[in-house]
Amino acid sequence: MEGLILHYRQGAHTQYGNHMIVHFAGVENRAKALPLLGKKVVWTSPAGKQITGEVHGAHGNKGTVRVLFSKGMPGQAIGTFVQLV
């Protein structure tokens, strides 16, 4: 399953570099997002490096999820796709 990275997880004064908000195709609500908890995610950079992460929770009620990656994600990752493994 393929997901689109939407943005970093952030608050009014902070931005978490290794937390990303991801939307998976076919997941339209929170109930459909909850079964994805604990699944592994892989992002491949344009240079071929892979950064792995894990789905940690739902984000809102429209089916987006929070993914915690092993290290900070570059800004070029926004708008690219991740693979659910």
The mean of the pLDDT values for the chain is 96
Residue 53 is part of a domain; what is its CATH number?
2.40.10.190
Query: Which structural domain, as residue segments, surrounds residue 76?
Result: 2-84
- Residue 14, phi then psi, degrees to nearest 5: -135, 155
CA distance from start to end of the chain: 8
Q: What is the tens place of the pLDDT at every residue in 40-85?
A: 999 999 999 999 999 999 999 999 999 999 999 999 999 999 999 9
pLDDT value, residue 78: 97
Q: Tell me the whole-structure pTM to 2 decimals.
A: 0.93
For 45, the token pair is 């950079």
Q: Decide: helix, strand or coil at residue 11.
A: coil
Report whether 23 contacts 54 (CB < 8 A). no
If one counts the domains in the chain, the total is: 1
Please give the Cα distance from 63 to 61 (Å, whole number): 6
